[in-house]
Chains A and B, each alone.
Chain A
Amino acid sequence: MSLQTRKILDRTFSGAGLLAIAWLAAALLVLLAPMVVRGLRAVCFQGTIEHRRFLLEKFERGDRTEVEAEIRAAQAAREPAWRMLAEFDRQLAAGEASVRARYRAPLKDLRKHLQFLLGPEPGKPRPPLLRDQYGQTRMDLAQLGLERVLRREEWDYSNPAAGGVRESKPRAEDFAGTPLAALFPYVEQNLAAMMRPRRTFYWGFWTDESFDAHFFGGIWPEILGTFYLAIGTLLLAVPMGLVAAIYLTEYARESRFLAVLRTCNNTLAGVPSIVFGLFGLAFFINTAHVSPAKSVLAGSMTLALMILPTVIRASEEAIKAVPRTYREAALSLGAGRWHTVWSAVLPAALPGILTGIVISMGRAAGETAPIIFTAAVSVGRPLALWQTLAQPTPALSWNIYNLATEHEAVDLVRHVQYGLVLTLVGLVLLLNLAAILLRARIARRLRN
């Protein structure tokens, strides 16, 4: 091989490595960008008058006179639309039965979508579900509602080879020649007047309860549940992990038994998370009966078992990194073994141990599979501290799954899903950032 080729090969080799690194960074960026951008839209968005009305009626938030004036203005803008609908109703009731039959289904569909956009028709009884009592609270969803009012989707099965083909038809065609045809241009042109969009910062997203399956309100129960689970896990795992690490580094002598212990520890670290979940169900709930059914306590125990190896390993590393001279100095001052560990080794190893704990806490907060069967429910109120012993809780991680796959209207709560993801990822990354900073401080101190 010529020297030049070897040189080029060398360059491409380095290039391949750099490419791999670039791919890592790009993966992180591609992953985080939509989460951050769309997650922030859960908090900062174009809110409609319905959003402000909801806040006023539910929480007494906002300036009452101002919001009420706005509601009146919006109602005035909507009134012609509802009037057209009511007039058409009357006209049909007076007309022939065949005409009535022809318009019954399209009219019902139109009314449904108009109510989806604007909220209940004035003068009609209050619907039972909260989501039907209000129109769309966000302008992006209001646009979707407008689209549904203006156009109707249809599946065309006429060509069997292609299967169903989706077609979108203007709804105005259905009502061509009737007075109702004027409704569509009116709604389209006056959407802003009817919904009164305004830039909104809804900080309550993080502190409000959710209402009606996350159609309204915030994610406070999930945040609180994740917090309980993470703290409970730490309370259980850290003492055990710390004691084990102290024993392994300071007391144990190399032996076959120790090798077995280490293998067990590694095995525990490698057990798939879903198996932990099954074990939690089979042992903590069905056998040990720590709680009658799913509960935060059972979930914390399961998670604690899962992060135990990580805590042990991190603490071990931190304790091993304490220089020998610390121990020798303490021993030469007459301290016993335990006293040495307690007063000289542990304080020196503390930052390193904390780093490991913080990272494990992030892991406990983000894990989903172990809590599916042991702690998580989809909908729930925020728990009081004493309720965590016997009651399940919503949690950020589980609710991301649940809202993204099992919710009845997945597309309508997309912003909540992104908000949950942003909150969880932000929480975990902040914890990791804290760990990185902590470690940098240790490194600096060790260098001095």
Chain B
Amino acid sequence: MDGSAGRIRAAPSLLLSRGARRRQRLAADLGQLFLLGVTSLSALAVLAIFFFIARDAVPFFRLEGFREFFTSPRWYPSAAEPEFGALAIFAGSGLVTLGAALVAVPVGIAAAVCLSDVLPFAARQVVKPVVEMLAAIPSVAYGFFALVVLAPLLQRSGGTVLAAAAWIIGAPVAGLLAFILADLGADHAPEPLQKRIRLGLLLVLGGAAATGLWAASRALAGLEISSGTNTLNVSLVLGIMALPTVVSVSEDALQAVGRELREGSYALGATRAETTLRTVLPAARSGIAAAAILGVMRAVGETMVVWMASGNAAQIPSPWYNLLAPVRTLTATIAGDMGEADHVTGSARYHVLFAMALCLLVFSFVCNLASEWVLHRSCRKAGG
């Protein structure tokens, strides 16, 4: 002890005086406090966003109440007797999002599975930039595409396009289904007849599928699309926009499933498809659910595409699943009406837009919490 103390005394410059040490400690603490302060700014920003949106939304509910806003489909904000029923607009947002999810989730998950389990490493290095480019293209460019390229195409030759799409999507799916069903049916037959039964079933089912497809495509080809700016158009484009989110999040989830599970499944004699469907996908279930939620969030919050190409008609399509009718969404209403409402600050016309923004905000917050909870649970499960 004594010796070491002597050595320290021999190099006094290394030893700080008590005051200096305290100063340094204080500086470090203050520095850390500063860092903490800056870091909490993002938390403060969230609070501020909630506060300021809610502050301008509350006057609307105070003026007009809740009932009309959430239950009436009549949206006439600039009439002499203004009506602020936003049900049709909520329905529009929902419909567009549903369509986008139908495009993005299956394709996204299939692409993610392919990226993580099928493609070799080199091919993955090529595909990943494609996904990143899709994510990087600004939403207004997507909107421009939907409005200037896709909408006229749908309007001019929508029936033909839809019929072709029905064949392209339907034929492989129907063929596969017929094959599986024929095989399953033949499984129960006695051994010598199996081959013949399988063939017969295949022919019958395939014929039925082809007839069905033919009828469907005939019906679609006769379809007249009165306006190219409709739910179908927007759903397709939004689906493509949401794809990168779904692909990258679910690919991460699939990658997180360990090698051991896959190898165990292969060792039991499963094919790659069986391994993926029965082992890997169930294990990555929660991550994929989170991917779908994030994709849906992206579609709900998107403004430019729906503003430019959804037709902006505040109506509930009849029947509700009619994808060829124009709709109007929350985001497009906010973006479009603010220009007119801006100069009447203080009226219900202005505050109703904030009420809509509040609904969007709450929805995205809930979605976020849900996805976080799901991911958290999966992490804990993987850990334990």
CB of A273 within 8 Å of the partner chain: yes
Asked if B183 and A428 sit within 8 Å, CB to CB, the answer is no
Are A274 and B357 CB-contacts (below 8 A) given A18-B118, A24-B243?
yes
In the complex, which residues 306-331 of chain B have their Cβ closer than 8 Å to any Cβ of chain A? 307-308, 331
The digit string for B139-153, where 1 denotes a CB below 8 A from any CB of A, is 111111101110000
CB of B66 within 8 Å of the partner chain: no
CB of B208 within 8 Å of the partner chain: no
CB of A417 within 8 Å of the partner chain: yes
Q: Per DSSP, are chain B's interface residues mostly helix, strand or loop, or mixed?
A: helix
Q: How long is the Cα–Cα vector from A31 to B42 in the complex, in angstroms?
A: 35
Q: With contacts A12-B176, A401-B143, A421-B141 known, what are 17 further pairs, Cβ within 8 A? A: A5-B179, A9-B273, A10-B272, A14-B272, A18-B118, A20-B107, A24-B131, A24-B243, A34-B149, A252-B36, A252-B39, A268-B46, A271-B364, A274-B360, A401-B304, A414-B148, A425-B137
Q: Per DSSP, are chain A's interface residues mostly helix, strand or loop, or mixed?
A: helix
Task: Give the segment of A90-98, A110-118, A140-148, A258-266 that binds chain B.
Answer: A258-266
In the complex, which residues 319-348 of chain A have their Cβ closer than 8 Å to any Cβ of chain B? 336-338
**26 contacting pairs across A/B (C-beta < 8 A):** A13-B277, A14-B114, A18-B118, A24-B107, A24-B127, A25-B127, A35-B145, A247-B38, A264-B45, A268-B42, A272-B302, A274-B331, A279-B53, A282-B53, A282-B56, A308-B42, A338-B28, A366-B140, A367-B139, A401-B307, A424-B138, A424-B140, A425-B138, A428-B138, A432-B132, A432-B136
Contacts of A124 in B (CB 8 A): none
From the candidates A9, A305, A312, A368, name the one contacting B139 in the complex (CB within 8 A): A368
From the candidates A2, A17, A252, A372, name the one contacting B338 in the complex (CB within 8 A): A372
Asked if B46 and A397 sit within 8 Å, CB to CB, the answer is no
Asked if A261 and B40 sit within 8 Å, CB to CB, the answer is yes
Closest to A425 in B: B141
CB of B214 within 8 Å of the partner chain: no
The digit string for A171-194, where 1 denotes a CB below 8 A from any CB of B, is 000000000000000000000000
In the complex, which residues 15-50 of chain B have their Cβ closer than 8 Å to any Cβ of chain A? 28, 31-32, 35-36, 38-43, 45-46, 48-49
- Distance from A241 Cβ to chain B, minimum over Cβ atoms (Å): 9
- Distance from A166 Cβ to chain B, minimum over Cβ atoms (Å): 13
Asked if A369 and B372 sit within 8 Å, CB to CB, the answer is no
| Contact size range, A | 35 or more
CB of A373 within 8 Å of the partner chain: yes
Closest to B139 in A: A368
CB of A251 within 8 Å of the partner chain: yes
- Distance from B183 Cβ to chain A, minimum over Cβ atoms (Å): 4
Q: How long is the Cα–Cα vector from A25 to B244 in the complex, in angstroms?
A: 12
Interface residues of A (CB under 8 A from B): 1-2, 5-10, 12-14, 16-21, 23-25, 27-28, 31, 34-35, 240, 243-244, 246-248, 251-252, 260-261, 263-268, 270-279, 281-283, 286-287, 305, 308-309, 312, 336-338, 359, 362-363, 365-369, 372-373, 397-398, 400-401, 404-405, 414, 417, 421, 424-425, 428-429, 431-432, 436
Q: How long is the Cα–Cα vector from A263 to B366 in the complex, in angstroms?
A: 11
Asked if B335 and A369 sit within 8 Å, CB to CB, the answer is yes
- Distance from B163 Cβ to chain A, minimum over Cβ atoms (Å): 19
Give 8 nearest A-B pairs by CB, closest first.
A366-B138, A17-B114, A272-B301, A13-B273, A20-B110, A247-B35, A264-B43, A20-B111
